[in-house]
């Protein structure tokens, strides 16, 4: 099927999941994950109605973004090293994968140089997996407390990559935990911290993520097909 046809099916599933959880379909942001995809494929998704694309690597984004004929919102969703913050601040509209105050400080420094307020999400390793980046859930309050002092940063929510398990039902408890963290973080008193986005759920589990409170899902293979 075409990218447009795949998106039609995905949007229908998003609508059903959002309404079953008492929300509107337009409350859910769909980010097309364009890792390893061509600029032409990314453009095709945007022409089919996608408003945001997600890239995992700074270097790939540097090569791909100049080739785009469209102007979607650009999300950094992969692990970001501090020495790549300079490029990331210039390339992206939002960095979803901030997992430490050290990285946040570097992003703030580069954002100030570029006269930019950088939107970020705090990445949480909700499954405690050694193979994944993200802070521990218990580190989140300290991160939020430290984030308040950065003038060129705006923390707009949380992000996670849930464990890859046999069924989406097995992942549900992790999404529930993330929603609890999100609700708790929303009470944090800082002018540059506002919990708007809970980014969780990918091609195999986005319906469950939405049912448990996701406001943003990141979908790649269900839109573009399996990676070659």
pLDDT, tens only, 30-60: 999 999 999 999 999 999 999 999 999 999 9
Q: How far is CA 83 from CA 38, 58, 86, 93, in A?
A: 26, 11, 7, 18
> CA-CA distance, 88 to 75, in Å (whole number)?
10
Q: Phi/psi zone of residue 60: left (φ > 0), alpha (ψ -120 to 50 degrees), beta?
A: alpha
> CA-CA distance, 24 to 16, in Å (whole number)?
9
| pLDDT at residue 228 greater than cutoff 70 | no
What's the pLDDT at 168?
Answer: 80
The average pLDDT across 126-131 equals: 91
Q: Which CATH number fits domain 3-224: 3.10.180.10, 2.40.30.10, 3.40.50.300, 3.20.20.10?
A: 3.20.20.10
């Amino acid at each position: 099927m075409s990218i447009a046809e795949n998106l039609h099916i995905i949007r229908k599933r998003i609508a059903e999941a959002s309404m079953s959880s008492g929300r509107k379909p337009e409350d859910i942001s769909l980010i097309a994950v364009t890792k390893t995809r061509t600029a032409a494929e990314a453009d095709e998704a945007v022409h089919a109605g996608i408003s945001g694309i997600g890239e995992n690597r700074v270097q790939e984004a540097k090569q791909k973004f100049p080739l785009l004929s469209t102007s979607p919102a650009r999300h950094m969703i992969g692990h970001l090293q501090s020495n790549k913050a300079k490029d990331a601040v210039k390339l992206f509209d939002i960095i979803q994968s901030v997992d430490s105050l050290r990285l946040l400080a570097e992003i703030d420094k580069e954002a100030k140089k570029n006269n930019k307020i950088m939107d970020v999400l705090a990445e949480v390793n909700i499954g405690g997996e050694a193979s994944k980046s993200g802070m521990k859930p218990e580190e989140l309050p300290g991160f939020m407390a430290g984030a308040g002092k950065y003038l060129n940063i705006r923390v707009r929510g949380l992000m996670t990559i849930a464990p890859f398990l046999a069924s989406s039902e097995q992942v549900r408890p992790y999404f529930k935990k993330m929603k609890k963290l999100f609700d708790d973080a929303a009470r944090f008193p800082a002018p540059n911290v506002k919990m708007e986005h809970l980014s969780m759920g990918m091609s195999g589990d986005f319906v469950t993520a939405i049912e448990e409170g996701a406001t943003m899902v990141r979908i790649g293979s269900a839109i573009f097909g399996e990676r070659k």
